[in-house]
Amino acid sequence: MGPNLLDGRLGDILSTILTEGSGDVYVVHPTRETIEELVNVAGDHDGDVPTIHLLADDRNLREVMDDFLVASNAADLVHEGTLELRSSEDSAGQSLVVTEESVVALVSAGTRTGGLRTDDDAFVEKARDAYAAEWEAAETYRLRTPPISRVRDTLSSDMGPEAEEDFSEVLASLETARGDGDGLDEVTISLLVAAKNEELFYDISRWGEDVGVASKATFSRMKNRLEDSGLIGTEKVPVDVGRPRQRLTIQDDRLREADSTQLASVAETILN
C-alpha cells in the first residue's frame, strides 16, 4: 500500500496525486478550498497532467467560479482538455481523489490536511466504477468565464502589449477577483487598465464583450460608477462619422502615481 500523505498542505497533496496518477482522475465531493487548490495545482503542474473529472456540489462550484482568477484558469484547463466539470445537488460525502491506482480521502484536521490512501485493487476498482457511474449521471457545468490565455492574447492584440502586461500585473497582485469589496472584478480591472493606457471606452467594451468578459452594458455601468467615484474620467475624441467617442483617463492622483502592482489596492481603498 502506498503511504498516506500527511504533510499538511492540500496543494502539495494534490500535486503528489496528480504526479503519481495515470489515466483519468476523479475528484468527487470536493470542498471549495479543494476546487480552488486543484485548479491552481493543475495549472502550475510540470509535465503531463491526467484528465481530471471534477464532480462537485453545484453551490460550491458557483461560489468558487465567481472568482475570475480561479474561473479563468479553470477555463484554460477545460479548453486544453485537462479538466472536465460536472455538478451535483448532493453535497454529502467524503472528499475523494480516485486514480487508476488508488483512492485518497482528503481529511482536514484544523489547519492541516491529510490524504488517507488505499491501493487495494478490488476496492479501487469498485470505487472507480461507482464514481464513473455518478459522473455519467451528473450535469455538465458550463463556465461563463473565458480562458485567461485567450483574455491575455486578445487584450495584447487589440489594446497592445503594455495593456496586457498591466492587466496581468494587476491580477497577480490580487488574492481574489470577485468585486463587491472582495477584490476588484474583471470589468473594473479592465477599465482601470484601459484608463491607465488611455484607451477608448468603445474599444475596451467591445473587446470585453467579444472575448466574453462581460457585456457592453456591464462595462458601461461600471464606467459610470468609476467616474462617479472620481477614479477615471473621459475625454471626447471626434470620429469621421457618428458621435464622438470617449477616451478613458485616470483622474485620481493616487491612481495616477500607482504602478500596475499597486493599482488594485489603491482603487479598492478609494472605492471602499
Under 8 Å between Cβ of 60 and 125: no
Q: For residue 5, report the phi and psi dihedrals to the nearest 5 degrees.
A: -105, 100
The tens digit of pLDDT for each residue in 56-104 reads 999 999 999 999 999 999 999 999 999 999 998 776 678 999 999 999 9
- All cell numbers assigned to 85: 466539470
Radius of gyration of the chain (CA): 22
Residue 180 has a pLDDT of 67
Under 8 Å between Cβ of 52 and 27: yes
Among residues 122, 97, 87, 1, the alpha carbon closest in space to that of 42 is found at 97
Residue 182 has a pLDDT of 64
List, in order of start, the domains of the chain with CATH numbers: 10-140 (3.30.870.10), 148-271 (1.10.10)
Longest dimension (CA), the chain: 74
Q: Which residues on adjacent β-strands are paired with residue 246?
A: 236
Q: What is the DSSP letter of 106?
A: E
Residues of the chain with pLDDT under 70: 1-2, 7-8, 91-92, 180-183
The tens digit of pLDDT for each residue in 46-59 reads 778 889 999 999 99
Residues in the chain: 272
